[in-house]
Amino acid sequence: MAKPIKKIAVTGGAGQIAYNLLFRIASGEMLGFDQPIALHILELPDAMKALEGVKMELEDCAFPLLKEIKIGSDPKEIFKGVHVALLVGAKPRGPGMERGDLLNDNGKIFVEQGRALNDVADPDVKVLVVGNPCNTNCLIAMSNAPRIPRKNFHAMTRLDQNRASYQLAEKSGNPVDSVTNVLIWGNHSSTQVPDFLNAKIKGKPAVEVIKDTQWLENDFINSVQKRGAAIIAARGKSSAASAANGAIDAIKAIFTPTKPGEWFSSGVYSAGNPYGIDENLFFSFPCRSKGDGTYEVIPNVPWNDFLKGKIKLTEKELIEERELVTNKLGVEKIHG
């Protein structure tokens, strides 16, 4: 018997990430090749004409799993009953900017969309925030959606994890699928901490395979932290195909059982976290899933002094971003 349809919302439907994302979702790559879906796509009124063109192209693919396409600019219409929401639509940064500089312009989008999800989405909707600065935007969305479990919100750090995996594979001369347990701690920003200490290559600690500590502590970390900026410098636009790929991997990770002994990175709500990180942030931690859309944060992944110092810096940055929106945009000060 055919599975019931899953409704998937994507915002920023006429943008460059969405153009690389919608077709892959519709083909079945994200939720499985036996899962019928409906796409609910949100855009600003000014971009509706372009979105109509995207809809025509989706139709012209004749995807067997794609049962319905709904487009519009009212989040309360588009988010009705959705089971998964990919919040992509937001301004991208330009050259010379940090992602946090977007908070003023983008933060308010997540107030409106958090409220709309709260009011009309499926009560167990899983939400992935891609629009930058994604960790703090995710905090804003969650804070405005008290009806939805906090554990259902994710800020995307999967692209960073994929970038780190590639760097370790290339440096060690091994295929990328021999690299496991790669992990990003903290913010999706230039303070993020790509963890080489716990990464493995062909099941062995990466630090035993790549013995070049200088490279691991400097070039590796810097290249992953600054990869987004390097792409903007090269392309004149921020990453789009790799970002869409990261979003698909991020959702797949919570709907696929995590292999024993492995983990994936996701920016998740830090309340009750086992690492002593401030309890009111979206922080990227090692996570595992049973494959039912839920996850748990894996405890006891060790830090050395080098990692600890860097993790404290990314935590500090997230606290500073939160301060900018506390008592605004629906984010309340949480005491204790």
Q: Which residues are catalytic?
A: 188
Identity at 206, one-letter amino acid code: A
* Cα-based torsion angle of the residue sequence 151, 156, 157, 159 in order, rounded to the nearest 10 degrees: 140
Instruction: Identify the H or E element spanning 310.
Output: helix 305-325
Residue for token pair 């919302």: 9
Q: Which of 15, 107, 194, 330 binds ligand NAD (CB under 6 A)?
A: 15
Closest CB 70 distance from ligand LMR, rounded Å: 27
Q: Which is nearer to ligand NAD, 22 or 130 (CB)?
A: 130
173 vs 239: CA distance, rounded Å: 25
- Per DSSP, the three-state class of 282 is strand
Where would I find the H helices in 173-265? Answer: 206-209, 213-214, 221-225, 227-235, 241-254
Q: Which is nearer to ligand NAD, 43 or 200 (CB)?
A: 43
Q: Which is nearer to ligand NAD, 71 or 168 (CB)?
A: 71
- Binding segment for ligand NAD (CB under 6 A), chosen from 39-47, 169-177, 282-290, 298-306, is 39-47
Adjacent-strand bridge partners of 286: 265
Which chain residues interact with ligand LMR by CB under 6 A?
92-93, 99, 132, 159, 228-229, 231-232, 238-239, 243
Closest CB 148 distance from ligand LMR, rounded Å: 24
**Residues 213 to 242 in contact with ligand NAD, rule: CB under 6 A:** 238-240
Closest CB 21 distance from ligand NAD, rounded Å: 9
Adjacent-strand bridge partners of 126: 84
- By CB under 6 A, is residue 44 in contact with ligand NAD? yes
Q: Are 334 and 115 in contact (CB under 8 A)?
A: no
Where would I find the H helices in 61-102? Answer: 75-78
89 vs 9: CA distance, rounded Å: 11
**Which residue minimizes CB distance to ligand LMR?**
228
Q: Decide which of ligand NAD, ligand LMR, none touches 231; Cβ closer than 5 to 8 Å per partner kind.
A: ligand LMR
Q: Decide which of ligand LMR, ligand NAD, none touches 12; Cβ closer than 5 to 8 Å per partner kind.
A: ligand NAD
Composition of the chain by helix, strand, coil, percent to 5:
45, 20, 40
**Which residue minimizes CB distance to ligand NAD?**
15
Q: Are 269 and 252 in contact (CB under 8 A)?
A: no
Closest CB 152 distance from ligand NAD, rounded Å: 18
Hey, what are 130's tokens? 């891609």
Adjacent-strand bridge partners of 6: 37
Closest CB 241 distance from ligand LMR, rounded Å: 11
Closest CB 154 distance from ligand NAD, rounded Å: 10
Q: Which is nearer to ligand NAD, 116 or 148 (CB)?
A: 116
**Residues 91 to 110 in contact with ligand NAD, rule: CB under 6 A:** 91-93, 109
φ and ψ of 331, to 5 deg: -90, 120
DSSP state of 38: E
Q: Which of 11, 167, 191, 284 binds ligand NAD (CB under 6 A)?
A: 11
- Per DSSP, the three-state class of 28 is coil
- Per DSSP, the three-state class of 315 is helix
Q: Decide which of ligand LMR, ligand NAD, none touches 88; Cβ closer than 5 to 8 Å per partner kind.
A: ligand NAD
Show Cβ contacts of residue 145 under 8 Å, excluding neighbours closer than 6 positions: 114, 115, 117, 118, 127, 153
Q: Which of 16, 161, 165, 225 binds ligand NAD (CB under 6 A)?
A: 16
Q: Decide which of ligand LMR, ligand NAD, none touches 15; Cβ closer than 5 to 8 Å per partner kind.
A: ligand NAD
Binding site for ligand NAD (CB under 6 A): 11-12, 14-17, 42-44, 47, 88-93, 109, 130-132, 134, 156, 159, 188, 238-240, 243, 246
